[in-house]
Structure 1
Amino acid sequence: MVHQDRLTKFLVFRALKTKRAEKVAYKFVPIFTLLAGPTVLQSVRGRESTNKVVSSIKGLYYWPILKISYGKPRHSQSQGNVERADQHVVNMLCAWMKDANTGWCSEELRFVQLIKYTAFYSGMKKHHAKLSLAAKLK
């Protein structure tokens, strides 16, 4: 699972064993409570899947201000951007596992997340890390 804040481009990767809404919700809650919940939750799996995740979060936790907001992405190409970003992460993970000569392990996500996070973001002509935390990889 890849979570990206659209404003800061901050990235969080999480390994999922299943795509069931309850399991996805369980992985999202620590992200949302750390970075603040999103006003828009967009998924490559569509509105129905997103609604199930939000409903699962509300079912698992007392979170009265969490709302489901219906509507289209602000830009028509937005959904395609999400799909391309997800595919890019999958490609990076496959390359990392090949180079490291390892099989699937959720620990690998940490390193791929670091590589992605410190990469240059051409849209804003800055590195991801400088957009949100002003961190520099040493």
Structure 2
Amino acid sequence: MPAAVLLLVQGAALSIQHRVAVAESGDQTMPIAMPLSTPAPTPASAVIGFDLAALDEHGLIGPQDGKRAVDYEYCIPNHQQALDEVLAIDPSARVMAGSPGRIGCSEAQWLVLGNTHQPGFRDVLHQLARLAFVRRIEQAVFE
């Protein structure tokens, strides 16, 4: 009997992998499932650094007589493929190459600005947050 078997289970959106080891105890065998070292995807709520629940259905925040959109910023790798992925998701995206922004993009990254005053803003932000190269999305504050 083998000491370990690899079991791969795939869901619609992501793969979950477990190593299944068989521990022998006398005449009985008992399966033991252990997660592999592949990290789980970061939930969008951990990447988005501001409260989406505070925004209305139009992507605006504030009192009735003073509503405004929320501007946000994030960093992407400084190559066209990453930018193309972002632009396919977020029509409000504007690249500010060479600026670190408040979020602190490195020289190997481009700063991207967007805003919530667009149809489907919640879905846009969740899709951006699921991109492997987007680590944080923070509210942009302009002075």
Structure possessing the higher radius of gyration over alpha carbons: 2
Question: Which has more helix, going by share of residues?
Answer: 1
Q: Which of the pair is proportionally richer in strand? A: 2
TM-score, reference length from structure 1: 0.22
Q: If the length of structure 2 is used for normalisation, what is the TM-score?
A: 0.21
